[in-house]
């Protein structure tokens, strides 16, 4: 730590950049990159660099409220505890739910998961990470027997071929893009392939852009698998010693029609040739893969190609899932998805028993709970009667978002813990609990390469706001579970979390940070970033050692299938949604920076010029997008960066900012049947002039 600066971690994307914040004594702070942090090595993107412009207390929720009236913490916490006690007594534990967030710190995430799964008796806790990487979690588990990201960020720089699938890395994970860009500049022979229906800013460094038909990723990687096999570009020793299931996967791949991708045969041949010849190949994928009704199959189709070539677990190679949020990985570690248990365990009988014994849990959940979309469906149907939302804004971020708002408004007991007063979810909830924000709260986060970093407070807590773990433990005490939640601070929680990761773990699970259980408070306070899973040069699976019982990875037969909702005559366009460079989620923080707002001051829909003119639309016109679920209004940006018949719109704008541009009101709620991740990138719409 420097004399005046506090070493902390950026609260935005899953790159997890280190920051040095220097408070100015007037409620603000200077922000600089941490040159010693392994993720960013002195770099920051526009969002991270503007963090100092987002620290004002305007729009903060600073006091507990019930039905719009300020109340004391005691009244608010008693009401929450009484409500949960009564609901469970009358309707059973599955009538309550938590919906949490990749914005939570690991210690907060751990507390929420422990309370609901160990003490309330239900696994109805899901996280907005369901929208981000649930398909990767499921794909990893099918292939590896564990939710393991095998590689490290440095693999992107060491690779001879970087394949970016469904990722606008230049805007969504800018520091990783900068690292690849610098590596390519230093070593121009390095090839970059971008697989994305859109021509994004990431294509600026691409040697080949495969603008495939939306949703055809499985077909593309099946064609690659079959082509690699036909060409003999395989690692027979690795396949024989460390995998199973190749024959079935290959048969399906060989039957795949390459025409489904809508790509030129010459581009496909180039892709195959580069992949076959590049021993050091990394395939990096993000939401274009995960946010799909075939997301899990897409992940496995990619992993299949790396297993066939033995390109996994060694420097400069491997499949790599980039997470969207600052602590999506921490959530995975504590088990905050409704279908997982803590410390990368599942709902097997032995694992349920192990976690219950560790926690001394009186009322352990015994089966997976509801996933995000079905959880809010259950709220709407009245099966869930008490829901507690923490640090997220599902009224804007979930698909079919108007239905989510209606569900919350009709719910008997709707609770939200939030730092921000003006969100559409806070508006829809009866009980509002003020939470600490970045710069005030304390704990750890885990980034996309399994790197654990401290987020440290450098500003005082405002108003009556409290950290989420404290709020949860106060409710637990009121429910009679004080002993199990008697933490003095975040270091106690981190030690407990670390101890659980090692509890009865004889190398059968990947996640083990048991050494951290011995950290004293001072060591926790001064913890420097570290990557779990071994030394900095260690990768998982280089010599096999997968986490299925037979220690072999699985090829998965992935049959290409179309997205759930096909375009029709009335709605012939395909809407794709995503991020813009300078905004984050629903803009509660980035929206405060005038500088960031200047990049994209209003929501726009990108349309191919031919589609725009066919509808009588010119660049700059206002258009309405309508789907079977809802509508949104945006300014038209005519651009040949999108394919004919397709449209792209940002996901950030909310009713608080721009009532009309709330895109998820129009987005379909179809999900992947395994991961439950919504298909946010494929909604049939029509677009017309307003």
Cβ neighbors of 395 (< 8 A, separation 6 or more) are: 401, 404, 405, 408, 423, 424, 425, 427, 428
Among residues 48, 102, 139, 295, the one that binds ligand SF4 under rule CB under 6 A: 48
Q: Considering the rule CB under 6 A, would residue 10 count as an interface residue with ligand SF4?
A: yes
Q: Which stretches of 535-682 are assigned E, i.e. beta strand?
A: 553-554, 573-578, 604-607, 622-626, 631-638, 646-650
| Residue number with CB closer to ligand SF4 (234 or 447) | 447
Interface of this chain with ligand SF4, residues 210 to 269, rule: CB under 6 A: none
Q: What is the DSSP letter of 341?
A: B
Q: What is the DSSP letter of 335?
A: T
Interface of this chain with ligand SF4, residues 552 to 581, rule: CB under 6 A: none
Burial 161-194 (b: 16+ CB within 10 A, else e): bbbbbbbbbbbbbbbbbbbbbebbeeeeebbbbb
Min separation Cβ 210 and ligand SF4, Å: 25
| Residue number with CB closer to ligand SF4 (43 or 421) | 43
- Using CB under 6 A as the binding criterion, the count of chain residues that bind ligand SF4 stands at 14
Min separation Cβ 182 and ligand SF4, Å: 14
Angstrom distance (rounded) from CA 6 to CA 34: 10
| Residue number with CB closer to ligand SF4 (152 or 643) | 152
With beta carbons less than 8 A apart as the criterion, state whether 104 and 331 touch: yes
Contact window for ligand SF4 (CB under 6 A) among 11-19, 87-95, 343-351, 656-664: 11-19
Q: Considering the rule CB under 6 A, would residue 40 count as an interface residue with ligand SF4?
A: yes
Cβ neighbors of 143 (< 8 A, separation 6 or more) are: 299, 300, 303, 304, 307, 546, 553, 554, 555, 556
Hey, what are 582's tokens?
């300078």
> Closest residue (Cβ) to ligand SF4?
48
Bridging pattern class, strands 413-418 and 431-434: parallel
Q: Which stretches of 230-274 are assigned E, i.e. beta strand?
A: 243-244
Min separation Cβ 263 and ligand SF4, Å: 30
Task: Please give the angle made by the CA atoms of 296, 301 and 305, to the nearest 5 degrees.
Answer: 145
Angstrom distance (rounded) from CA 49 to CA 659: 28
* x/- track of binding to ligand SF4 for residues 160-199 (CB under 6 A): -------------xxx------------------------
Hey, what are 571's tokens?
């709605």
Contact window for ligand SF4 (CB under 6 A) among 44-52, 162-170, 371-379, 649-657: 44-52
| Residue number with CB closer to ligand SF4 (37 or 332) | 37
Interface of this chain with ligand SF4, residues 273 to 302, rule: CB under 6 A: none
| Residue number with CB closer to ligand SF4 (40 or 283) | 40
Task: For tokens 């190398």, name the residue.
Answer: 507
Among residues 20, 21, 32, 45, the one that binds ligand SF4 under rule CB under 6 A: 45
Task: Please give the angle made by the CA atoms of 312, 262 and 271, to the nearest 5 degrees.
Answer: 35
Task: For tokens 């030394």, name the residue.
Answer: 535
Q: Considering the rule CB under 6 A, would residue 12 count as an interface residue with ligand SF4?
A: yes
Among residues 7, 37, 47, 242, the one that binds ligand SF4 under rule CB under 6 A: 47
* x/- track of binding to ligand SF4 for residues 13-32 (CB under 6 A): x-xxx---------------
Min separation Cβ 589 and ligand SF4, Å: 11
Bridging pattern class, strands 208-210 and 443-446: unpaired
Min separation Cβ 33 and ligand SF4, Å: 8
Among residues 21, 29, 32, 44, the one that binds ligand SF4 under rule CB under 6 A: 44
- 605: phi > 0 → left, psi -120 to 50 → alpha, else beta; which? beta
| Residue number with CB closer to ligand SF4 (44 or 431) | 44
Min separation Cβ 170 and ligand SF4, Å: 11
| Alpha helices (runs of H) in 1-153, residue ranges in sequence order | 46-49, 73-91, 106-114, 134-144
| Chain residues in the site for ligand SF4 (CB under 6 A) | 10, 12-13, 15-17, 40, 44-45, 47-48, 173-175
């Amino acid at each position: 730590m420097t004399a005046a600066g506090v070493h902390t971690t950026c609260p935005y994307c899953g790159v997890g950049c280190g920051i040095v914040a220097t408070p100015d004594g007037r409620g603000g702070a200077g922000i600089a990159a941490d040159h010693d942090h392994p993720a960013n090595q002195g770099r920051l993107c526009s969002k991270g660099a503007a963090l100092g412009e987002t620290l004002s207390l305007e729009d903060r929720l600073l006091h507990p409220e019930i039905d719009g009236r300020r109340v004391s913490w005691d009244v608010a916490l008693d009401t929450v505890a009484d409500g949960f006690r009564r609901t469970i007594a009358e309707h059973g534990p599955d009538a309550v739910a938590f919906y949490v967030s990749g914005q939570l710190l690991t210690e907060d995430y751990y507390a929420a998961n422990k309370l609901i799964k160990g003490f309330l008796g239900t696994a109805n806790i899901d996280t907005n990470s369901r929208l981000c990487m649930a398909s990767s979690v499921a794909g990893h588990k099918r292939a590896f027997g564990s939710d393991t990201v095998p590689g490290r960020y440095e693999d992107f720089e060491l690779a001879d071929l970087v394949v970016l699938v469904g990722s606008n890395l230049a805007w969504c994970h800018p520091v990783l893009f900068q690292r690849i860009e610098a590596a390519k500049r230093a070593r121009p022979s390095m090839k970059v392939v971008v697989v994305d229906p859109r021509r994004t800013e990431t294509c600026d460094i691409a040697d080949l852009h495969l603008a495939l038909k939306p949703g055809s990723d499985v077909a593309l990687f099946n064609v690659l698998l079959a082509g690699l096999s036909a060409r003999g570009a395989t690692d027979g020793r690795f396949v024989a010693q460390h995998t199973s299931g190749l024959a079935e996967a290959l048969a399906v791949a060989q039957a795949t029609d390459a025409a489904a991708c809508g790509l030129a045969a010459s581009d496909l041949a180039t892709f195959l040739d580069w992949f076959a010849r590049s021993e050091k190949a990394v395939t990096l994928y993000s939401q274009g893969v995960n946010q799909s009704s075939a997301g899990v199959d897409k992940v496995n189709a990619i992993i299949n190609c790396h297993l066939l070539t033995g390109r996994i677990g060694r420097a400069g190679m491997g499949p790599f899932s980039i997470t969207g949020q600052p602590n999506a990985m921490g959530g995975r570690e504590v088990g905050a998805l409704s279908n997982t248990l803590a410390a990368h365990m599942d709902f097997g009988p032995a694992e349920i028993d192990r976690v219950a014994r560790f926690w001394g849990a009186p009322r352990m959940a015994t089966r997976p709970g509801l996933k995000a979309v079905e959880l809010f469906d259950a709220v709407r149907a009245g099966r869930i009667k008490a829901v507690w939302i923490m640090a997220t804004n599902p009224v804007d971020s979930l698909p079919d978002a108007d239905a989510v708002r209606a569900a919350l408004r009709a719910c008997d007991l709707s609770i939200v813990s939030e730092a921000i007063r003006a969100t559409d979810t806070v508006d829809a909830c009866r009980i509002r609990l003020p939470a600490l924000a970045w710069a005030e709260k304390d704990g750890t986060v885990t980034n996309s390469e399994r790197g654990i970093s401290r987020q440290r407070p450098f500003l005082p807590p405002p108003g009556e706001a409290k950290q989420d773990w404290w709020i949860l433990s106060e409710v637990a005490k009121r429910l009679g579970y004080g002993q199990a939640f008697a933490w003095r601070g975040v270091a106690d929680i981190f030690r407990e979390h670390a101890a659980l990761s090692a509890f009865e773990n004889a190398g059968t699970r990947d996640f083990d940070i048991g050494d951290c259980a011995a950290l004293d408070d001072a060591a926790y306070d001064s913890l420097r970033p570290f990557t779990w899973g071994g030394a900095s040069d260690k990768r998982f699976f280089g010599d096999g050692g997968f986490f299925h019982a037979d220690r072999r990875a699985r090829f998965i037969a992935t049959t290409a299938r179309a997205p759930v909702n096909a375009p029709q005559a009335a709605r012939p366009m395909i809407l794709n949604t995503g991020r813009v460079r300078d905004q984050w989620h629903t803009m509660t923080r980035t929206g405060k920076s005038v500088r960031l707002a200047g990049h994209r001051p209003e929501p726009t829909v990108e349309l191919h010029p031919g589609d725009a003119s066919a509808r009588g639309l010119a660049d700059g016109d206002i258009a309405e997008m309508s789907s079977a679920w809802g509508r949104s209004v945006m300014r038209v940006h005519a651009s040949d960066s999108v394919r004919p018949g397709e449209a792209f719109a940002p996901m950030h704008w909310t009713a608080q900012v721009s009532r009309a541009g709330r895109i998820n009101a129009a987005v379909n709620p179809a999900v992947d049947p395994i991961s439950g991740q919504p298909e946010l990138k494929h909604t049939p719409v029509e677009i017309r002039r307003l």
